[in-house]
């Protein structure tokens, strides 16, 4: 019996992907929930493991420029990865759209946010949370939305700014702000708002939140890094990304 167990062990070892490794990924904060679901699926399919670090796109880009050992970058915009390509920190020709984000005005309180965002025009709230528009594309989209609605100057004294979209969401979730502009992926579960009330901001009110992934120079010779980018293009990954409230290229 022991001989058969040894044989089975040998067979299983050959069944695992050869040269399975680890990929260090810098991931925009808005993509935290999807990435936490994608990582185990990626490991199951490839044998490679993702070690993800989350933060604002601007802050992660600064860390990459300063030599942080990231091998793949999942940004919340397309401009930042393009800049990294131009300065040699990312590999030319590897950049692509992995998700198209949606901005949402959210409150943890049911009924507070109406279906057209008219709550923004009233005085029923003291604080409105946004991500830092200098660092986070979702924060920039929030400011663009307020300006398109003609409300930015009026509401500026009520703005509470988080370092990234995760912190903006936390301000609302903890009651430190009654309203907040967050990523739809943070509050949607199976196509429905999981808690509270929300208004999905029409895309015409802000620049499209096109999110690009790119292979970083440090990862260009790492099979696990290239495998992650390939995995993000696969239909199982795209289906999971859509489920979390994003659009994907090609529908």
Residues listed for the chain: 251
Residue with tokens 């400011």: 143
**What percent of the chain lies above the pLDDT cut of 90?**
87
pTM of structure: 0.85
Contact 99, 179 (CB under 8 A): no
CATH 3.40.190.10 location in the chain: 19-100+208-243, 102-205
Q: How many CB atoms lie within 10 A of CB 111?
A: 9
Place of tokens 């920039």: 140
Question: 143-147 — which CB contacts under 8 Å span 24+ positions?
Answer: 144/205, 144/206, 144/207, 145/103, 145/181, 145/201, 145/205, 145/206, 146/120
Q: Over the stretch 29-71, which tens digit does the pLDDT of each residue have? A: 999 999 999 999 999 999 999 999 999 999 999 999 999 999 9
CATH of domain 102-205: 3.40.190.10
Rounded mean pLDDT for each run of 10 residues along the chain, 251 residues in total: 40 46 96 95 97 96 97 97 97 97 96 96 96 95 98 98 95 97 90 89 96 97 98 96 91 71
- Considering the domain 19-100+208-243, what is its CATH architecture? 3-Layer(aba) Sandwich (3.40)
CA pair distance 131, 142, nearest whole angstrom: 8
């Amino acid at each position: 019996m022991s001989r058969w167990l040894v044989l089975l062990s040998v067979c299983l070892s050959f069944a695992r992907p050869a040269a399975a490794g680890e990929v260090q990924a810098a991931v925009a904060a808005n993509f935290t929930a999807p990435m936490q679901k994608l990582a185990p699926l990626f490991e199951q399919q490839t044998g490679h493991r993702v070690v993800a670090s989350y933060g604002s796109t601007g802050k992660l880009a600064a860390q990459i420029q300063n030599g942080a050992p990231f091998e793949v970058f999942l940004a919340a915009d397309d401009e930042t990865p393009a800049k990294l390509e131009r300065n040699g920190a990312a590999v030319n020709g590897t950049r692509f759209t992995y998700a198209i984000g949606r901005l949402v005005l959210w409150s943890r309180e049911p009924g507070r946010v109406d279906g057209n965002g008219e709550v923004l025009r009233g005085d029923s709230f003291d604080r409105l949370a946004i991500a830092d528009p200098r660092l986070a594309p979702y924060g920039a989209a929030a400011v663009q939305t307020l300006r398109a609605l003609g409300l930015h100057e009026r509401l500026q004294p009520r703005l509470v700014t988080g370092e990234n979209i995760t912190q903006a969401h936390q301000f609302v979730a903890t009651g430190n702000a009654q309203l907040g502009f967050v990523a739809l992926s943070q509050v949607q579960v199976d196509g429905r708002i999981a808690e509270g009330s929300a208004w999905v901001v029409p895309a015409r009110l802000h620049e499209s939140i096109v999110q690009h992934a790119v292979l970083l120079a440090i990862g260009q010779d790492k099979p696990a890094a290239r495998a992650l980018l390939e995995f993000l293009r696969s239909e199982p990954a795209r289906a999971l990304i859509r489920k979390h409230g994003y659009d994907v290229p090609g529908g």
